[in-house]
């Protein structure tokens, strides 16, 4: 831990600023600062601990994802007593969807706290949700489950979760568009294009054609993300026709 402590010490001015920012976000004073330092460090900084392990938010993101899923599952179990396993799983997926977590991460302006050698503008939308999950992981390790649960209720469940509205929420625009095209017997095709951008992070460009016509275009840091993004744009472009046929 000494190597990490030395990093933290050298960055004392900036890290004091990090702690002050986190106090406003979490509504408590962080105690184990090193967890939060890790939660906002991107692997592009090439930092390593004394054992040579990379220092980045990714491990905390994994932990935060599991804690968030557990808290949301408990909430839904209590609030939807008539829901079966399939219903509860679907509803949980909507609460912890990448788009939803990205929105929360943006609201909290977490990307402003990240240390990275890559400009924030070159990251995809998912960086916001990834950092939010990493923050949850840091809160859990710093304060324990009860405080972390309260933090999740305050940032996710209380302001954003409503059972009735969730039932009509779309969690995968790609799946929705594919199902609609199949139902309406329309041909569709996701056309991958060579991305000519100069971003440090590799991007993928995709067009969605329906009945041979380009409906939408999008680019993102993975093929999966680009296809979901282009599907969302297509949904809003075709919303009048889609809603009419439901």
Domains of the chain: 2-167 (1.10.1520.10), 173-244 (3.30.160.20)
Planar angle of CA 170, 171, 177, nearest 5 degrees: 65
pTM to 2 decimals?
0.69
Q: Express each pLDDT in 65-89 by its tens digit.
A: 999 999 999 999 999 999 899 889 9
Coil, helix or strand at residue 123: coil
Q: For residue 147, what pLDDT band results from cuts at 50, 70 and 90? A: very high
- Average the pLDDT over 208-221 and give the result: 92
Q: Which long-range contacts (CB under 8 A, 24 or more apart) does 84-90 make?
A: 90/171
Q: Which of left, alpha, beta for 212 (phi over 0: left; psi -120 to 50: alpha)? A: left
- 133 is an active site residue: yes
Q: Identify the bridge partners of residue 48 per DSSP, sorted by sequence position.
A: 54
pLDDT digits (tens, 9 = 90+) for 164-192: 777 777 778 888 899 889 999 999 999 98
**To the nearest whole percent, how much of the chain has pLDDT over 90?**
60
Give the full edge-to-edge strand order of the sheet including 188-193: 188-193, 204-210, 213-220
Q: Does residue 225 or residue 167 have the better pLDDT?
A: 225
Catalytic residue, chosen from 15, 65, 149, 228, is 65
Catalytic residue, candidates 15, 99, 125, 133: 133
pLDDT tops 60 at residue 11: no
pLDDT tens digits, one per residue of 94-145: 899 888 999 999 999 999 999 999 988 888 889 999 999 999 999 999 999 9
Of 44, 24, 50, 25, residue with least CA distance to 34: 50
65 part of the active site: yes
Residues 6+ apart with CB under 8 A from 213: none
């Amino acid at each position: 831990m000494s190597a990490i402590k030395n990093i933290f010490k050298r960055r004392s001015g900036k890290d004091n600023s990090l702690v002050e920012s986190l106090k406003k976000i979490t509504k408590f004073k962080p105690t184990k600062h090193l967890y939060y330092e890790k939660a906002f460090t991107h692997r592009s900084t090439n930092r390593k601990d004394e054992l040579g392990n990379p220092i980045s938010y990714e491990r905390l993101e994994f932990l935060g994802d599991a804690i968030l899923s557990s808290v949301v599952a408990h909430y839904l179990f209590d609030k939807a007593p008539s829901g079966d396993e399939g219903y509860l799983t679907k509803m949980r997926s909507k609460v912890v969807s990448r788009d939803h977590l990205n929105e929360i991460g943006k609201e909290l302006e977490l990307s402003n706290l990240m240390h990275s050698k890559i400009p924030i503008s070159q990251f995809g939308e998912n960086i916001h949700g990834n950092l939010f999950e990493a923050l949850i992981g840091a809160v859990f390790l710093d304060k324990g489950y009860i405080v972390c649960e309260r933090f999740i209720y305050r940032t996710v469940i209380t302001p954003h979760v409503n059972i009735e509205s969730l039932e009509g929420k779309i969690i995968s625009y790609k799946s929705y568009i594919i199902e609609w095209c199949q139902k309406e017997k329309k041909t569709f095709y996701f056309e991958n294009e060579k991305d000519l951008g100069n971003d440090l992070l590799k991007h993928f460009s995709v067009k969605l054609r329906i009945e041979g016509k380009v409906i939408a275009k999008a680019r993102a840091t993975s093929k999966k993300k680009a296809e979901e993004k282009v599907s969302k744009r297509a949904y809003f472009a075709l919303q009048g026709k889609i809603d009419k046929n439901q």
